[in-house]
Amino acid sequence: MSENELMVDARGVRKWFGSNEVLKSISLTIPRGEVLSLLGPSGSGKSTFLRCINHLESIDGGRIYVDDELIGYKQRGDKIHEMKPREIAKQRRKIGMVFQRFNLFPHMTALGNIIDAPIGVNGESKAEATAHARELLERVGLADKADAYPAQLSGGQQQRVAIARALAMKPKLMLFDEPTSALDPELVGDVLDVMRDLAKSGMTMIVVTHEIGFSREVADRMVFMDGGVVVEAGAPRDVLDNPQHPRTQAFLESVL
Amino acid sequence: MTTNVERSTDDDVVAIPLRHPWRWVAAAAVIVVLGLLLNSLWNNENIAKQYIWQFIFDPRILKGVWITLLVTIISMVIATILAIILAIMRMSSNPVLRGVSFLYIWFFRGTPLLVQIVFWGYLGLLYKQISLGVPLTDFHIFAVDTNTLIPAFVGGVIALSLNEAAYAAEIVRAGLLSIDHGQREAAYSLGMGPGYTLRRIILPQSMKVIIPPMGNETISMLKNTSLLAVVAVPELYTASSQISSGNLRQVELLIVASLWYLFITSVLSVPQFYLERYYARGNSRELPPTPFQQLKRAVARMRGRADNRRIAAQAHEEAGA
Ligand SMILES: Nc1ncnc2c1ncn2[C@@H]1O[C@H](COP(=O)(O)OP(=O)(O)O)[C@@H](O)[C@H]1O
Ligand SMILES: [Mg+2]
């Protein structure tokens, strides 16, 4: 596979928190348009890996390329330099992220949440950003909630606004960190529907989730992580129905 | 099966409101005590009330009120801007900025305000001229006499704002710290830079934590302007004491000044209310009512009660007939 067919190319990524090695040389490649499901027990480093991809965390070893760009650092000769905050911010614009706890801006309406970054960061006109935002709200099924504040929305509605907010920046890659874990069971379906549509539209996605059914149906590939290493990877059907590694087997038994 | 009292479920709830008898008792007690106190002041032979009426709208007093208000507002605005800068410096990853901010707060909180005010008044003794030129040479682009550049009013404003900034910086810092870390992460993940994130996401949310204590600080500031009497700024207290040193009606003029201070304090709480309301948007499902809305609701409630009473009386009559 040639280099530029890859959306994400993570090579030997290592990350320490103090004396705790959280990522122990993670290598993963994600072709454009692929949906990757990331699975693993709590504390295995899934969130940390996602946060390294958009450089919310710096890395201590290895390289991460997104869309053929080295993330967070500049390579000059054989030396690596830290980037300025402004340059990092620019790289993050093509990587959308959806958080477990939504993290909507509570002082802005749903519409305000969606249009703020396109106007303030991308320099779109207000009319242009608003029109796009209304389209996105329509797409996530919340056209009538444009003027509602986050506190007036249910968890599932908030998360769908958060997805629309990330999409408003027209990202090439979407990262989902347990997007349905904080939701009441009856609200999970609406959020998964939106993500399913997004996957169908060809978006490259990395999804950390314990929704096995969703992964089986939507993901092209599944990766099982434990203790900061990739234990097993393959088609979801193979990993779920025929796990090779005992740690994968033990984890699947505990969640299924 | 026993026959229960019939339980109807489709009636409206027409509950008789809970009575609060102790509220009335407390109110009565307060009124009695307050009445006795006011009576003892009112009928005090040693207070000549006509002087209060004579001077409360005296032009010198009104000018003092105006200067007091002006000093308070200008100083609070400068102090707030400085405080935001200091708080951001204090939380920065740059150790030099952190150190400067720490020293600033340490110094201005650690010395008495009165001393700082007198210091700015005496700056002219320390530096005869303030000039722009090449350091350590006699070459000046311009030079002005310190006392012309910093008249008493400006010196007073500088002293009050620099001092207040040290306190307000800690209030702003507490406000910034109160915002969940996820807000910053969400902003960064959207490609917002640190400055934009602070301005658009963090500061506006901090305001609901910052404004109530800043309201307190504004009231302190209002009263601290009276300290400018020591450098002869003609604010409210200076004006009243200048008048009383002429006519020896000290108590009456102190009452005049106090009434004005109370009045300004009350007036200043209005913008605070609307600021709090503005920054509370989105934080609760419903904004707190404005006083006007409260009044309307109270009237509606009283009407409702009167209506209820009329309806009850009517029903009673009909039942009797
Ligand atoms: N900011 C942090 N500081 C210190 N340790 C952290 C931090 N974030 C995560 N960790 C640690 O890193 C490990 C992996 O965490 P995380 O990536 O959140 O796991 P997961 O998302 O798979 O549950 C955990 O042991 C966690 O305690
Ligand atoms: Mg996690």
**Host H or E run for residue B141:** strand B140-145
Give B131's DSSP letter: E
| pTM score above 0.90 | no
- Ligand 2 centroid – CA A46 distance (Å): 6
Give the pLDDT confidence score for residue B62 in this predicted structure.
95
Give B123's pLDDT tier (boundaries 50, 70, 90). confident
Residue B77 confidence (pLDDT): 96
**Whether B282 and A103 lie within 8 Å, measured CB to CB:** no
% of chain A surpassing 70 pLDDT: 99
Enter the tokens of residue A57. Answer: 């965390």
Given this model, what pLDDT does residue B72 score? 96
Give B221's contacts (C-beta < 8 A, 6+ positions apart). Answer: B72, B75, B76, B79, B160, B164
> Would you say residue B7 has pLDDT above 90?
no
Check B190 against A92: CB less than 8 A apart.
yes
Whether residue A142 contacts residue A109, with contact meaning beta carbons closer than 8 Å, is answered with no
Sign for the pseudo-dihedral over CA of B230, B234, B240, B243: positive
Does the pLDDT value for residue A188 go beyond 90? Answer: yes
A44-to-A9, A103, B38, B64 alpha-carbon distances in Å: 20, 23, 72, 68
Tens digits of residue pLDDT in B10-29:
667 777 888 888 889 999 99
Arithmetic mean of pLDDT, B293-318: 74
B38-92 pLDDT tens trace: 888 888 877 788 888 899 999 999 999 999 999 999 999 999 999 999 999 999 9
pLDDT value, residue A191: 97
pLDDT for residue B266 is more than 70: yes
Q: What is the mean pLDDT of chain B?
A: 86
For the CA of A41, the closest atom of ligand 1 is: 22
Band of pLDDT at residue B288, cut at 50, 70 and 90: low
Please give the pLDDT value at position A2.
47
Instruction: Report the alpha-carbon angle A153-A158-A161, nearest 5.
Output: 120
Q: Going by CA atoms, what residue is nearest to atom 3 of ligand 1? A: A17
C-alpha angle A210-A214-A217 in degrees, rounded to nearest 5: 140
Indicate which residue's Cα is closest to atom 16 of ligand 1: A45
Are B171 and B213 a contacting pair, CB within 8 Å? yes
> Does residue A52 carry a pLDDT above 90?
yes
Averaged pLDDT, B266-272:
90
Contact list in B for residue A95 (CB cut-off 8 A) is 189
Q: Which pLDDT belongs to residue B1?
A: 47
Ligand nearest to the CA of A179: 2
Measured in Å, residue A12 CA sits from the centre of ligand 1 at: 18
Q: Name B65's Cβ contacts closer than 8 Å, sequence gap at least 6.
A: B236, B260, B264
Q: Is B142 helix (H, G, I), strand (E, B) or coil?
A: strand
Contacts A69 to B, Cβ<8 Å: none
The residue-averaged pLDDT of A78-98 equals 95
Q: By mean pLDDT, which of A26-30, A183-187, B106-110, B306-310 is the weakest?
A: B306-310
- pLDDT at residue B142 in the model: 67
Return the pLDDT at A40: 95
Contacts of B182 in chain A (CB under 8 A): 99, 101, 103
Nearest ligand (C-alpha, residue A44): 1
Option in A101, A116, A149 nearest B282 (CB): A149
Q: Which pLDDT value is given to residue B320? A: 61
Residue B3 has pLDDT above 60, yes or no: no
Helices B203-224 & B59-90 angle (0-180, nearest 10)? 140
Q: Say if residue A1's pLDDT is above 50.
A: no
pLDDT class for B298, splitting at 50, 70, 90?
Answer: confident
Interval A248-255 mean pLDDT: 91
Smallest Cα distance from B189 to chain A, Å: 6
Residues of B with CB under 8 A from a CB of A: 180, 182-183, 185-194, 196, 200-201, 204-205, 279, 281-285
What's chain A's average pLDDT?
Answer: 95
Contacts of A148 in chain B (CB under 8 A): none
pLDDT digits (tens, 9 = 90+) for B211-232: 999 999 999 999 999 999 998 8
- List the single range of A210-219, B188-197, B287-296 with lowest mean pLDDT: B287-296
A152 and B182 in contact by Cβ < 8 A?
A: no
User: Which residue of A97, A151, A162 is in closest CB contact with B282?
Assistant: A151
Across A133-146, average pLDDT: 97
Q: Which residues pair with A96 in a beta bridge?
A: A174
Which residues' Cβ are closer than 6 Å to ligand 1? Answer: A 17, 22, 40, 42-48
| Closest of A128, A168, A50, A32 to residue B191, by C-alpha | A168
Q: Which residues sit opposite A208 in a β-bridge?
A: A38, A177
The number of the ligand nearest the C-alpha atom of A42 reads 1
pLDDT band at B286 (very low <50, low <70, confident <90, very high): low
Q: What is the pLDDT of residue A23?
A: 97
Global ipTM: 0.95
